[in-house]
Structure 1
């Protein structure tokens, strides 16, 4: 049955799966779990299946999608490949190129990175650049987009958006759509990023053991409490902890994919961490520390909110990231462990051409003993 405007207005996303609503002859609306909707045309050319994006709904209405579909069917009837014709004849807006770049690179990213890049595209980049033919994008046009972001005072976001735009434009160079990357001409044009404020960290014996005792004795949200304790015991980043999966735990070792460097680190789990993980088994699901979001992941602010609830000032006293600095300092200065073991434990390890998993288990035996001693030291009180 063909789609109608009324049916489209009443479409609801399914949080568990991607829906495909077909209009006929390969035209369909893809309804994603996050609520975004994209027109697509599936066809075969030289025996191979092809998939073209026709725009987002409701920006691209049903009649517009059908007209694009009709034109592409005519091209097929004449022996032409609509995908190739689109590239050759300039029907490439920045948004269409960005979508191709995103879909090709998405398998290389962990979910947190993919989600973050898509958020920056949808919020800051595509509303300004999306409708412009990619070949017409010049340095002043990109600068206008970036200065709108910069005006909010978010300088790191501005820098990262500039990087994303540059990668998309270089993708366009590879496809033969543009000749150069306009972001290369913007060096020194944007405001310099202010010096970062170091996140608060406890670096004394009394402070570290007091933090452990207070969190361990708290009785608030169990998942937040567990995440903070395991964070203290393993010195891993908040993002990796929030995305920690049961499938990545093998006995007393967690194969942690570090989003910042796209590397895998074998993380030893001391007995104290294993005890916390046992408490988390009351929930069914993919993630060890579940959250209320549709994807089951804990929000990035929940652990910090928990620290505030139990009496800490997260601006001046302690932060999740600061716990990594705490462990690094005290393991070297108080427990006398070699700095290179500690650096490897916190994920500051070299990435090599041999692959992202390179050296994941380096110093694993030594780090296992070290982190068990660290857990015992924290628990001693």
Structure 2
């Protein structure tokens, strides 16, 4: 099990969220003058970028601030208490994921120390760097790797449309390490028997459980939620770039869907920034 982050790190995360989403709009207002509608308007901005879970989380943070103000005699009631049901519900199916930076760092160190086969070890290392769907990872084909452009060009299993995954220096190195072992075959991550088939869908899950990480804490799908949350909340990446890389349907202001090559230079920079950030967390920074 991966332990929770210390209170000091948690408080820094709270302050960062307030500074990013709350303070710019109502931070300079006397707390007694802030209404429920003021808070709702701020949280709507968070929802507009698709961060529904973050909006609910920040509503709770605001509520804690208001409750403290009530306890210290600054206001008479918590205005967020009237916002129950006002925010959009989180519609996506919950997949267990680690999203606190310090715990992500520990997870990355555990993956680095995994003692299983090289195939599973490389799949584990690559999963957080590319954050594709688990089935897409285990069925990855060598023919889809564009070595010259350092890209993985595949068909999304969800949308059946093309998806380009820019490969960071770290991801590219993992593939280079594995190529002498499995590069003669079709699959990047072949099964043990027969090797003409992809790795078992339970291989990543079994590896996580073998490291002592319970299913309630992290799943193979959780690497996607981990990337989406931290790219948005910690690295401040444009939400449209993140959603495109997750192979979600993203539309421009005119309602037209972006294609797979949209913002490719920006996403390439994003993927390298993400890989470097994971390395920093792994190092304990």
The TM-score range, normalised by the shorter chain, is 0.5 to 0.7
Task: Supply the RMSD in Å over aligned alpha carbons.
Answer: 2.0
Separation in structure 2 between the aligned mates of residue 203 and residue 301 of structure 1, nearest angstrom:
22
The equivalent of 1:201 in structure 2 is 97
Structure 2 residue 234 is the aligned partner of structure 1 residue 334: yes
Are the counterparts in 2 of residues 233 and 273 from structure 1 also a CA contact under 8 Å?
Answer: yes
Note the residue ranges of structure 2 that are not aligned, 5 or more in a row.
Answer: 1-90, 252-257
Separation in structure 1 between the aligned mates of residue 93 and residue 235 of structure 2, nearest angstrom:
28
Larger-gyration structure (1/2): 1
1:338 positional shift: 0.7
The equivalent of 1:243 in structure 2 is 139
Structure 2 residue 265 is the aligned partner of structure 1 residue 361: no
Identify which of structures 1 and 2 has the higher relative contact order when contacts are C-alpha pairs closer than 8 Å and 6+ apart: 2
Are the counterparts in 1 of residues 123 and 204 from structure 2 also a CA contact under 8 Å?
Answer: yes
Separation in structure 2 between the aligned mates of residue 291 and residue 332 of structure 1, nearest angstrom:
35
The equivalent of 1:267 in structure 2 is 165
Separation in structure 1 between the aligned mates of residue 167 and residue 175 of structure 2, nearest angstrom:
10
The equivalent of 1:224 in structure 2 is 120
Structure 2 residue 152 is the aligned partner of structure 1 residue 254: yes
Are the counterparts in 2 of residues 290 and 298 from structure 1 also a CA contact under 8 Å?
Answer: yes
1:207 positional shift: 1.4
The equivalent of 1:112 in structure 2 is none
Q: Deviations over 1:67-89 (max 9, x none)?
A: xxxxxxxxxxxxxxxxxxxxxxx
Are the counterparts in 1 of residues 243 and 250 from structure 2 also a CA contact under 8 Å?
Answer: no
1:217 positional shift: 2.0
The one of 347, 361, 364 equivalent to 2:247 is 347
The equivalent of 2:201 in structure 1 is 300
Query: What SS class does the counterpart of residue 320 from structure 1 fall into?
Result: coil
1:310 positional shift: 1.4
Note the residue ranges of structure 1 that are not aligned, 5 or more in a row.
Answer: 1-194, 352-357
The equivalent of 2:14 in structure 1 is none
1:197 positional shift: 5.9
Q: Deviations over 1:19-72 (max 9, x none)?
A: xxxxxxxxxxxxxxxxxxxxxxxxxxxxxxxxxxxxxxxxxxxxxxxxxxxxxx
The equivalent of 2:185 in structure 1 is 285
Moved over 3 A (4+): none
1:292 positional shift: 2.4
Distance of aligned partners of 1:348 and 1:276 in 2 relative to their CA distance in 1, 3 Å threshold: same
Q: Deviations over 1:211-267 (max 9, x none)?
A: 111101222122122112211001101111111111101121000211111111111
Are the counterparts in 2 of residues 200 and 318 from structure 1 also a CA contact under 8 Å?
Answer: yes
Are the counterparts in 2 of residues 293 and 299 from structure 1 also a CA contact under 8 Å?
Answer: no
Query: What SS class does the counterpart of residue 266 from structure 1 fall into?
Result: strand
Separation in structure 1 between the aligned mates of residue 137 and residue 243 of structure 2, nearest angstrom:
18
Separation in structure 2 between the aligned mates of residue 323 and residue 209 of structure 1, nearest angstrom:
13
Query: What SS class does the counterpart of residue 318 from structure 1 fall into?
Result: coil
The one of 195, 198, 219 equivalent to 1:319 is 219
Q: Deviations over 1:85-136 (max 9, x none)?
A: xxxxxxxxxxxxxxxxxxxxxxxxxxxxxxxxxxxxxxxxxxxxxxxxxxxx
1:293 positional shift: 4.3
The equivalent of 1:168 in structure 2 is none
Are the counterparts in 1 of residues 128 and 224 from structure 2 also a CA contact under 8 Å?
Answer: yes
Which TM-score applies when normalising by structure 1? Answer: 0.45
Report which of the two has the higher share of strand: 1
